Structure 1
Amino acid sequence: MIEIYTDGAASGNPGPGGYGVILRSGAHYKELSGGFRMTTNNRMELLAVIEGLKSIKKPGAQVTVYSDSKYVVDSVEKGWVFGWVKKAFKDKKNKDLWIQYLNLHKQHQVKFIWIKGHNEHPENERCDRLAVAASQNKSALGIDAFFEEERKNA
């Protein structure tokens, strides 16, 4: 059993953003984070889940993802994203990330649990600090190329 705690942040939405992830399995504990110069909060919430799942080495893991993002949790748990696939993500945002997520979803047994954000949940608070710090580290911000290109063409 692997637990993944996630959070995303964006200042300006769109604006500089980051994600934070905690992975825990038994005695194993790992933190991940990253930031981008121009992105959205929803993209960072979803990317946090993706980065957490990508770091799992063995396929077929039982994974519980804890997120304060209703956008991410409801999209998966209520099955919306699977309907979006059938419609080729017509009029849906973050298609690139959802496709990445779905490819990882197939490799594991994933369930989501929504937790209230900024409610003194220790792992969620830590993920928030990781995400905000990553979004503020100007020298290490990456380029969310898909988002910036999509925004330019809108």
Structure 2
Amino acid sequence: MIEIYTDGSCLTNPGNGGWAAIIIEDGKIKKISGNEKKTTNNRMELLAPINALKEMNSESQISIYTDSQYVKLGITQWINKWIINNWQTSKKEDVKNKDLWVELFNLNKSLNVKWNWVKAHAGNTMNEEVDLLAKKAANLD
């Protein structure tokens, strides 16, 4: 079982943003992160699991932990309705970040992923650590 903790951060929304993931496999910890200028928090929240899942192989059992309800509910519930409704929300608006949702959807369906929500800033050590990594990544010069 591989555990992945993900988070995204934006200093101003929109503004400089960062994403991070902590991948735990066989007791080994790997940390990855990245950043973008002129982005949003939601895009960073999506890029964290996307980039982590790109490092996985199809044989692995994966548990992803996110404190973003946007990501958790989006990939486990909302996306199926968006696809049926031609990428329109229930309010008949275009789904924001469609490019990233499509990428995450394709990665998710090609892998064995269990999605988990964790409460932010509630003492989960790995969630706190990935939060700090994302904030550090967002702190662009």
Could you state the TM-score of these two structures normalised by the residue count of structure 1?
A: 0.84
- Deviation per CA, 1:43-83, whole angstroms, max 9, x where unpaired? 11111010110111x21321111000010111123x21111
> Match for residue 67 of structure 1?
66
Structure 2 equivalent of residue 89 of structure 1: 87
Calculate the aligned-residue CA RMSD, in Å: 1.1
Q: Which runs of 5+ in 1 are unaligned?
A: 139-154
Distance 2:33 2:140 in 1: 11
Deviations 1:73-114 (A, max 9, x none): 11123x211111222312110100001101101221111111
Question: What is the SS of the residue equivalent to 1:106?
Answer: helix
Listed as ranges, the matches of 1:37-76 within 5 Å are 37-56=37-56, 58-76=57-75
Report sequence identity in percent. 43
Where do 1:93-112 residues align within 5 Å? 93-112=96-115
Say whether the 8 Å CA contact 1:60–1:107 is kept in structure 2. no
Q: In the alignment, residue 128 of structure 1 is paired with which amino acid? A: D
Number of aligned residues = 136
Classify the secondary structure of the residue corresponding to 2:119. coil
Unaligned runs of 5+ in 2: 89-93
Contact 2:10 2:138 in 1 (8 A): yes
The normalised TM-score by structure 2 is 0.91
Runs of 4+ in 1 over 2 A off after TM superposition: none
